[in-house]
Amino acid sequence: MRNPLTWLRRNLVVIAGLGTLAYMILPNVVVTVFSFNNPTGRFNYAWQEFSLDAWKDPCGVADMCGSLSLSLQIALWSTLVATALGTAIAFALVRYRFRARGAVNSLIFLPMAMPEIVMAASLLALFLNMGIQLGFWTILIAHIMFCLSFVVAAVKARVLSMDPRLEEAARDLYAGPVQTFVRVTLPIAAPGIAAGALLSFALSFDDFIITNFNSGNTVTFPMFVWGSAQRGTPVQINVIGTAMFVIAVLVVLAGQMVGNRRKKAQPK
Amino acid sequence: MTTTAAPPQAPASTEPPVHKASLRKRLVPYWLLLPGILWLLVFFVLPMVYQASTSVQTGSLEEGFQVTWHFGTYWDAFTEYYPQFLRSLLYAGTATALCLLLGYPLAYLIAFKAGRWRNLLLVLVIAPFFTSFLIRTLAWKTILADGGPVVAVLNNIGFLDVTSWLGMTEGDRVLATPLAVVCGLTYNFLPFMILPLYSSLERIDTRLHEAAGDLYARPATVFRKVTFPLSMPGVVSGTLLTFIPASGDYVNAELLGSTDTRMIGNVIQSQYLRILDYPTAAALSFILMAIVLIMVTIYIRRAGTEDLV
The whole-number average pLDDT for the span A173-201 is 89
Size of interface A-B (CB pairs under 8 A): 252
Q: What is the mean pLDDT of residues A84-109?
A: 91
- Cα–Cα distance measured from residue B161 to residue B155, given in angstroms and rounded to the nearest whole number: 7
Contacts of B113 in chain A (CB under 8 A): 13-14, 17
What residue of B is the nearest CA neighbor of A97? B29
Domains annotated for chain A, with CATH where assigned, are 2-52 (no CATH), 61-232 (1.10.3720.10)
d(CA A190, CA A195): 8
**Is residue B137 predicted with pLDDT exceeding 90?**
yes
Q: Is residue A64 very low, low, confident or very high in pLDDT (cuts 50, 70, 90)?
A: very high
pLDDT of residue B13: 45
ipTM: 0.88
Does B269 contact A202 at a Cβ distance shorter than 8 Å?
no
Q: How far apart are CA A82 and CA A143, in angstroms?
A: 8
Looking at residue B9, its pLDDT comes to 47
> Is the Cβ–Cβ distance between A196 and A188 less than 8 Å?
no
Residue A251, pLDDT above cutoff 90: no
Q: Does B227 contact A at CB distance below 8 Å?
A: no
What is the pLDDT, as a whole number, of residue A20?
96
Chain A, residues 73-112, CB within 8 A of chain B, namely: 85-86, 88-89, 91-92, 95-96, 98, 104-105, 107-111
pLDDT digits (tens, 9 = 90+) for A108-130: 989 988 999 999 999 999 998 89
Please, what is the average pLDDT of chain A?
A: 90
Contact A125 B142 (CB under 8 A): no
Query: What 8-state DSSP symbol labels residue B65?
Result: E
Segment B142-167 mean pLDDT: 90
B285–A121 CB contact, under 8 Å: yes
Summarised one tens digit per residue, pLDDT across range B256-283 is: 999 999 999 999 999 999 999 999 999 9
Q: Would you say B189 and B99 are in contact if contact means Cβ atoms under 8 Å apart?
A: yes
pLDDT score of A31: 94
User: A171-175, B4-8, B185-189: which has the minimum mean pLDDT?
Assistant: B4-8
pLDDT of residue B51: 93
Please, what is the Cα angle at B37 between B35 and B40, to 5 degrees? Answer: 110
Which residue from B minimizes the CA distance to A93? B29
Q: What DSSP string describes A107-119?
A: HHHGGGGS-HHHH
Q: Do B130 and A244 touch (CB under 8 A)?
A: yes
pLDDT at B307 over 60: no
Q: What are phi and psi of A108, to 5 degrees?
A: -70, -40
Separation between Cα atoms, residue B54 and residue B33, nearest integer Å: 30
